[in-house]
């Protein structure tokens, strides 16, 4: 039941913000700004120094809310286990990794691997992934979801990379289960403009409301 509950929580938030930063402190500020704007899904990437500590801090800070905290850019099973122990509620990778899938299955935590071909989609489904990350989304179009669902009618897709306020509605109308948002959402943080990140999050949430 744990994985099913976490999956539903992830689907409910609708938008997952990809948080990258060069320090734990900045990563926390970005995540806080995103959440303040209404986006309640956080994918804290393992490119952030001491990512597992940041994940633990976010999980503690937002415990008991509808916020869902996960780990991204997870390339191998050791990082996956550290993230899960820190409290990560889902694991995201840029590609599929069988050992990461096994680790997530062991702890009943959703694993969302990156895919771009039918072969990769099938591999992920066979390993138990209920949601796959269409990455990079900027190299595909919303119409790709329909094409994937020809051979894989039960495939749940999270496009990530290139999802923005202007095309978010198109992705959901095409059948996206949830979307990942990166630079288009958190870009102002490059200049320490965290108020700008919050404003962007509000715009994304308005687009999500229109899409749903």
Which residues are known to be catalytic?
Answer: 43, 133
Contacts of 198 by beta carbon, 8 Å cutoff, 6+ apart? 33, 34, 36, 37
Token code pair at residue 117: 């071909």
Three-state secondary-structure class, residue 163: coil
Length of the chain: 212
**Distance of alpha carbon 131 from alpha carbon 70, whole angstroms:** 14
| Distance from chain centroid for Cα 175 | 16
E strands, the chain, in order: 15-19, 41-45, 68-72, 91-92, 111-112, 114-115, 131-134, 156-159, 179-181
Place of tokens 């820190």: 86
């Amino acid at each position: 039941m744990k994985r099913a509950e976490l999956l539903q929580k992830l689907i409910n938030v609708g938008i997952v913000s990809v948080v990258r930063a060069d320090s734990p402190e900045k990563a926390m500020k970005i995540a806080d700004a995103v959440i303040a704007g209404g986006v309640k899904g956080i994918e804290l990437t393992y490119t952030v120094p001491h990512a597992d500590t940041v994940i633990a801090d976010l999980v503690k800070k937002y415990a008991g809310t509808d916020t869902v905290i996960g780990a991204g850019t997870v390339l191998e099973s050791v990082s996956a286990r550290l993230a899960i122990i820190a409290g990560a509620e889902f694991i995201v990778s840029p590609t599929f990794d069988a050992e990461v899938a096994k680790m997530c299955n062991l702890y009943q935590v959703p694993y969302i691997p990156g895919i771009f071909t039918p072969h990769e989609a099938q591999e992920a489904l066979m390993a138990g992934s209920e949601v796959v990350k269409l990455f990079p989304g900027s190299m595909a179009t919303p119409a790709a979801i329909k094409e994937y669902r020809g051979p894989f009618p039960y495939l749940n897709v999270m496009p990530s990379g290139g999802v923005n306020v202007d095309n978010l509605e198109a992705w959901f109308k095409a059948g996206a289960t949830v979307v990942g948002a990166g630079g288009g959402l958190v870009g102002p943080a490059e200049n320490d403009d965290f108020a700008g990140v919050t404003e962007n999050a509000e715009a994304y949430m308005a687009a999500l409301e229109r899409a749903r």
